[in-house]
Amino acid sequence: MTCLCVPVLVLAACAVPVTGHKTTGLLGDDHQQRKIRTTSGTRGKVVSARVRMSGMDGGRGRREQEAAGRGGRAPAGGVGMWALAASNLASLAYLLHQHYRPRAGAGGSVPRTGTGSDDANGDAPAPPPPEPAVTPDAVIDLELGDPTMYEAFWREAGSRAEVVIPGWWGMSYFSDAGRLCQFLEPELEREVRRVHRLVGNAAVDDGYHLVVGNGATQLFQAAMYALSPAGADRPVGVVSAAPYYSSYPPQTDLLLSGYYRWAGDANALDVDGANNNDGHIELVCSPNNPDGAVREAALSGGKAVHDLVYYWPQYTPITGAAAHDVMLFTMSKITGHAGSRLGWALVRDRDVAKKMVYFLGRSSIGVSKDSQLRAAKILAVVSDAYDGEDETRLRLFDFARRRMAERWGRLRAAVAASGAFSLPEETTGYCNFTRQTVAAYPAFAWLRCEREGVEDCAEFLRGHRIVARGGEQFGGEARCARVNMLDRDRVFDVLIQRISSL
């Protein structure tokens, strides 16, 4: 931080009387943040942003100087001003020279993230580490939905997707205390709405409120809290049609809430079409984790949370703009940035959105601004690539669709060759985003063991050094198991070799 700030501080210190110096006002902060945040992350651009900041400080300094001058502390006449300006310029030139001297092994002057490589100042960041090696006999862990497949894309994107965060930035709990979601960064909101408009997968402009959360995981709990009736004499039941996302039951019952409790398979309530909804909250995951099925709510007339984290063109045809009451999305599945722990909900009803914000405030006092800033940048890179006619730019959805198509082709061939498993049928549909009829490529393979005598598919796979999640955890059969399709290429290659050899 120090090197780049020194010229600014020298200017400010010279121009502003010490006793007259104030911390920046709210409006000024916001303006400065905007300039910093729009830099693309190269050192030179950050420097120029800081120079602009120093200009602003200088402006305020001059005003204060005039005021102070009336009080007799600032240099009074034109000669004094010129002398001051000359001394400032000399200090600036000296310090810039110091700063731009190549320094072996010096770290950046501001915390920097990412894998950029085009640093012109001699402080090139370390190159990204190589992908971890996978030995042919390694145990491959495909139990979780870790989306490391996307790393290859973001390595390629390099400094374009880099974010530099000055030490002073984002310190308040709030982003805009006057808004419904006080901790939502405006840049993130803009980029989230933009990417939905680009893809056409959610009716984001139809009066929806945006609520940001620590991943879809926290938002799903906030939604259950917000949808539970106040003052009920027993917790409302939370259901989802089996096979359902295996985290729904433990997340619902983690704190044994007095408002809501896990109540199992939604289909079990719909006996003979009777639709015994009874005020349940239904979790509708579409495309579904674990089996990739496109789903509607199983119960009618009740409250539903639509978990649409996989409703992106790399996984499924985009058939229309979803417009449900509560819709969940996450960086983890659109761009692969699971580590940022950032998700968002589109919420139709203002009161429900407010209750969700209350929950998020109580449980974590909002969401990391650093993560929001990074997510905004990542989403901007995604959308920018589709703006305009330049098809040579790295396009995330194209990259991921190609990878998924190739992986599913290889998996289906390996499964067919082994005869040990079956997979859900491939489905196709017209995708409004790609303007083609395309196949669905789910983020998980829902394998069913067809081999005689094998009752537990996860155990069978474990015997072949493949860790998968057993079907019973999804409210399904033990003969099924879920395998992550989003791991790195090398891991996926080993998976295919193993399955082919069974």
Q: Which residues bind ligand PLP (CB under 6 A)?
A: 145, 215-217, 245, 285, 289, 307, 309, 330, 332, 338, 343
Single-letter residue type at 152? A
In the complex, what is the shortest distance from the CB of residue 147 to ligand PLP, in angstroms, rounded to a whole number? Answer: 8
Q: How far is CA 87 from CA 15, 219, 234, in A?
A: 10, 55, 74
Query: Quick one: 46 or 345, whose CB is closer to ligand PLP?
Result: 345
In the complex, what is the shortest distance from the CB of residue 357 to ligand PLP, in angstroms, rounded to a whole number? Answer: 17
Query: Quick one: 60 or 324, whose CB is closer to ligand PLP?
Result: 324
Distance of CA 404 to the CA centre of its chain: 20
- What does the angle CA 265 – CA 268 – CA 274 come to, to the nearest 5 degrees? 135
Query: Quick one: 146 or 398, whose CB is closer to ligand PLP?
Result: 146
Query: Quick one: 4 or 376, whose CB is closer to ligand PLP?
Result: 376
Smallest Cα–Cα separation from 282: which of 261, 305, 311, 300?
Answer: 305
Smallest Cα–Cα separation from 51: which of 2, 100, 101, 9?
Answer: 9
Query: Quick one: 255 or 416, whose CB is closer to ligand PLP?
Result: 255
What's the rounded Cα separation, in Å, for the pair 441 and 455?
Answer: 27
Q: How far is CA 279 from CA 63, 238, 303, 359, 475, in A?
A: 62, 9, 7, 21, 21
Give 184-211 as a 3 state SS string: CCHHHHHHHHHHHHHHCCECCCCCCEEE
What is residue 438's three-state secondary structure? strand
Distance of CA 387 to the CA centre of its chain: 21
Query: Quick one: 33 or 368, whose CB is closer to ligand PLP?
Result: 368
Strand-pairing partners, residue 136, are none
Residue nearest to ligand PLP (CB): 215
What's the rounded Cα separation, in Å, for the pair 273 and 298?
Answer: 10
Contact 310, 295 (CB under 8 A): no
Query: Quick one: 91 or 217, whose CB is closer to ligand PLP?
Result: 217
Query: Quick one: 33 or 214, whose CB is closer to ligand PLP?
Result: 214
As given in the structure block, the two tokens for residue 111 are 């915390």
What is residue 362's three-state secondary structure? helix
What's the rounded Cα separation, in Å, for the pair 432 and 419?
Answer: 36
In the complex, what is the shortest distance from the CB of residue 342 to ligand PLP, in angstroms, rounded to a whole number? Answer: 7
Contact 495, 445 (CB under 8 A): no
As given in the structure block, the two tokens for residue 165 are 């965060």
Query: Quick one: 315 or 460, whose CB is closer to ligand PLP?
Result: 315
What's the rounded Cα separation, in Å, for the pair 173 and 248?
Answer: 29
Smallest Cα–Cα separation from 19: which of 80, 81, 61?
Answer: 61
Contact 238, 265 (CB under 8 A): no
In the complex, what is the shortest distance from the CB of residue 359 to ligand PLP, in angstroms, rounded to a whole number? Answer: 15
Residue 219, CB half-sphere, CA atoms under 13 Å: how many? Answer: 29
In the complex, what is the shortest distance from the CB of residue 36 to ligand PLP, in angstroms, rounded to a whole number? Answer: 27
In the complex, what is the shortest distance from the CB of residue 53 to ligand PLP, in angstroms, rounded to a whole number? Answer: 34
Q: How far is CA 230 from CA 24, 178, 226, 236, 302, in A?
A: 43, 26, 9, 10, 16
Query: Quick one: 166 or 215, whose CB is closer to ligand PLP?
Result: 215
Query: Quick one: 216 or 236, whose CB is closer to ligand PLP?
Result: 216
Query: Quick one: 41 or 442, whose CB is closer to ligand PLP?
Result: 442
In the complex, what is the shortest distance from the CB of residue 361 to ligand PLP, in angstroms, rounded to a whole number? Answer: 18
Smallest Cα–Cα separation from 316: which of 459, 444, 179?
Answer: 444
Query: Quick one: 5 or 327, whose CB is closer to ligand PLP?
Result: 327
In the complex, what is the shortest distance from the CB of residue 338 to ligand PLP, in angstroms, rounded to a whole number? Answer: 5
- What does the angle CA 147 – CA 152 – CA 157 come to, to the nearest 5 degrees? 115
Give 248-285 as a 3 state SS string: HHHHHHCCCCCCEEEEEEHHHHCHHHCCCCCCCEEEEE
In the complex, what is the shortest distance from the CB of residue 343 to ligand PLP, in angstroms, rounded to a whole number? Answer: 4
